[in-house]
Structure 1
């Protein structure tokens, strides 16, 4: 019951999350899934969560309460150490709660996206799994999704590369979210959007988006209209191979291996 997407670009980072935690006929609730750890001028880190809400909130609380400890997100020397601390928090919650959850028939389910920048280091973005292990975004795969990812993935795959400007990336993330909202009731408003400019080491662009947000309403209306327009402009399939179609669907000679298996009733 979540969709979150984050992108690591040459110009900065983009984070977007929904807030729906339960969806049913008469049971809809919300909770924020984005947490920001910021020390202006020194570090900005963003955590997006999906999966069991109790588990993800416990992980977030472990990270927040460690502020005054010797080893924490606030003292990490680099983003690799910081994401290792996130993974350790996941393992700590697993050690504490996994047995009780298993006894209750509940899977230990949590997925996290964690990214940001610490002074003196480049921006980095990670996907953290339920075991506390993680992978890092690369130029070839510069974004991560968690939760209901399949509906919003096609537009991100087609548009996002490291060189895309932050404004276009934010627009793409919102279109991706709109596609998910359209197809899945378990994802819902309000949304949290954070756009981080490389080397700024502070949060300057954040917005909470609800159903009254003018830009997101424009996205929803325009994207649907333009999809229908482009769909209508694509030629229908041409079945008559004898016709000189520009983009023929049928071939002059059918490939016998491509024919369906036909079952015929024996009338003899």
Structure 2
């Protein structure tokens, strides 16, 4: 065998190895691409996770709750897609939320920020708060005192639990710090077409639709709705952080898989 022939034989295994490695990289890229596409489709069309950043929805939702929302309840808009690309306004298969839904939406004055509140008023509704009682179209949302408790987000603060009942008969708990707080007495808000009015369940510790969009939420455009809050997947105590591995299991175990009402 000549030297040239021997050298040719010697290069074949290395060429085969290179081709195999290239093929494996291509297969890996395809697998990762498909996985990312599936994740994007699920995130845009079906579900999306959020972490509750504040105490405004206590007692139903606590700071540190990791929740999942469903996207299909209200239809889809450009805010259903990550980073809210500049697509045409409006919603695809848009549907009104129900009064009493807990909804996630993009803040009108800064759509990079997500808020979560309870939907109180639909387009055309007249909403007013009198002495802490919420009226919709002249009719008070039924509520009954359920006794005092400690606010879990503010050590030493005693609040009154108030159980409010929705039109479908289901109820939820709110917190009230007592009379005389900002937002306890308001004028009448007439909800414009294509807009919604929302409030936090922690009534005296929530910037919501009672305040204009320049400082609070104001009216919420339909296209800003991201979805309906459904379930608390897991909940971390204050102080837990993704950057502190020793706190990862510092959980509120009684809140695992807790429904959002």
Establish whether TM, by shorter chain, passes 0.5.
Answer: no
Scaled to the shorter chain, the TM-score interval is under 0.3
Higher relative contact order (CA 8 A, sep 6+): 1
TM-score (norm 2): 0.21
Structure whose residues are more often strand by fraction = 2
